[in-house]
Amino acid sequence: MTVDDTGTPVPVPDRVRRVVSIVPSLTETVAVTAPGLLVGATDWCTHPADLDVPRVRGTKNPDLERIAELRPDVVLGNTEENRPADVDALRAAGIPVWMTEIRTVDEALASLRRMLAGACRVPAPGWLDEASRAWSEATPGKPRTAVVPIWRRPWMVVGRDTFTGDVLSRLGVSNVYARHPDRYPKIPLGELNASGADLVVLPDEPYRFTEDDGPESFPAIDVALVNGRHLTWYGPSLVEAPAALARELAAPRTY
């Protein structure tokens, strides 16, 4: 019996035919690598754009009955995205659940390779090797010190031990709140503006920051609007993420 990222044994059958994913990044990973396996995904699973599978609500409120009806050989989850209570309920119903735990780019590459082999019973795809090369060749840009909001009303930012923080650090961007006790702390706007950051990184997810919603709150600091999928997703997007993010971070604006 194989074990997932948390060290939990997962009774995955020798041949996997039906997979439900309750994490958008993992959905894209399976859909691109072995599309015939995927039989269910969350409402937030937007990639690939032509994904046509039954939906099972969200990452935080999955429809457990609907998942069971889909008769998956395995459900794919993540320790940050999914609630332990939902994972426990699925396992109590006899459904194998493979949990990933990812907080760095290196962990993402290793975890996805392990998940595809152990949970999906498929060989590692070529895009994983491409992603490894892309990140090994990525060079840091101009050193910047940033705050990285992920929500407003209230303002929440990226804190310690996050995949997003590791992505940015590899590109030369230091997170002001990298040593905060919380991984996603709530910080008043006045404190964000007085943090000493010379850059604000605004992704378009989970909150959809745009030129008209977000930058106006930081009138004296450079703002880089970036693709949230490149910044926060681990999957096929890892191939293009370093180059795409580097371009966006190199061209900030003051609003």
pLDDT in tens, 20-39: 999 999 999 999 999 899 99
Q: Note down the domain range covering 232.
A: 139-249
94 within domain boundaries? yes
Cis-peptide, bond into residue 62, ω within 30° of zero: no
Beta-strand relationship, 74-78 and 97-100: parallel
Do residues 108 and 69 both lie within one domain?
Answer: yes
How far is residue 14 CA from its own chain's centroid?
Answer: 28
Do residues 45 and 102 both lie within one domain?
Answer: yes
Determine the pLDDT at residue 26: 98
- Long-range CB contacts (< 8 A, 24+ apart) of 242-247? 242/134, 242/135, 242/137, 242/138, 242/170, 242/171, 243/134, 243/138, 245/167, 245/168, 245/171, 246/138, 246/141, 246/171
Number of structural domains (the chain) is 2
pLDDT digits (tens, 9 = 90+) for 174-212: 999 999 999 999 999 999 999 999 999 999 999 999 999
Q: Which residue has the higher pLDDT, 155 or 255?
A: 155
Given 101, 124, 147, the domain boundary residue is 124
Helix (H, G, I), strand (E, B) or coil at 56: coil
Query: How crowded is residue 82: how many other Cβ atoms within 10 Å of its Cβ?
Result: 23
110 within domain boundaries? yes
Do residues 10 and 96 both lie within one domain?
Answer: yes
User: Mean per-residue pLDDT for 112-139?
Assistant: 97
Sign of CA dihedral 3, 8, 9, 14: negative
Determine the pLDDT at residue 194: 97
Do residues 101 and 157 both lie within one domain?
Answer: no
Do residues 71 and 107 both lie within one domain?
Answer: yes
132 within domain boundaries? no
Do residues 57 and 99 both lie within one domain?
Answer: yes
64 within domain boundaries? yes
Report d(CA 252, CA 141) in Å as an integer: 13
Percent of the chain having pLDDT more than 70?
Answer: 100
10 within domain boundaries? yes
Do residues 181 and 84 both lie within one domain?
Answer: no
| Average pLDDT score, the chain | 97
pLDDT above 80 (res 46):
yes
- Would you say how long the chain is, in residues? 255
Q: Name the pLDDT band for 234 (thresholds 50, 70, 90).
A: very high
User: Mean per-residue pLDDT for 205-234?
Assistant: 96
CATH number at residue 180: 3.40.50.1980
Do residues 111 and 181 both lie within one domain?
Answer: no
Determine the pLDDT at residue 76: 98
Do residues 98 and 147 both lie within one domain?
Answer: no
Q: What is the pTM of this model?
A: 0.94
Report d(CA 199, CA 224) in Å as an integer: 7
pLDDT above 80 (res 219):
yes
132 Ramachandran zone, left/alpha/beta (phi>0; psi -120 to 50): alpha
183 within domain boundaries? yes
Given 74, 100, 124, the domain boundary residue is 124
Percent of the chain having pLDDT more than 90?
Answer: 98
Do residues 19 and 115 both lie within one domain?
Answer: yes
Given 70, 99, 124, the domain boundary residue is 124
83 within domain boundaries? yes
Q: Name the pLDDT band for 1 (thresholds 50, 70, 90).
A: confident
Do residues 30 and 74 both lie within one domain?
Answer: yes
User: Mean per-residue pLDDT for 170-177?
Assistant: 98
Cα separations (Å) of 53 from 42, 45, 170, 214, 229?
9, 10, 35, 34, 20
pLDDT digits (tens, 9 = 90+) for 96-109: 999 999 999 999 99
Q: Identify the bridge partners of residue 86 per DSSP, sorted by sequence position.
A: none
175 within domain boundaries? yes
* Relative orientation angle of helices 126-136 and 241-249, to the nearest 10 degrees: 40
Query: Can you read off the two tokens belonging to residue 166?
Result: 């590791």
pLDDT above 80 (res 159):
yes
Report d(CA 67, CA 75) in Å as an integer: 9
Report d(CA 235, CA 48) in Å as an integer: 11
Q: Which residue has the higher pLDDT, 255 or 151?
A: 151
Do residues 111 and 160 both lie within one domain?
Answer: no
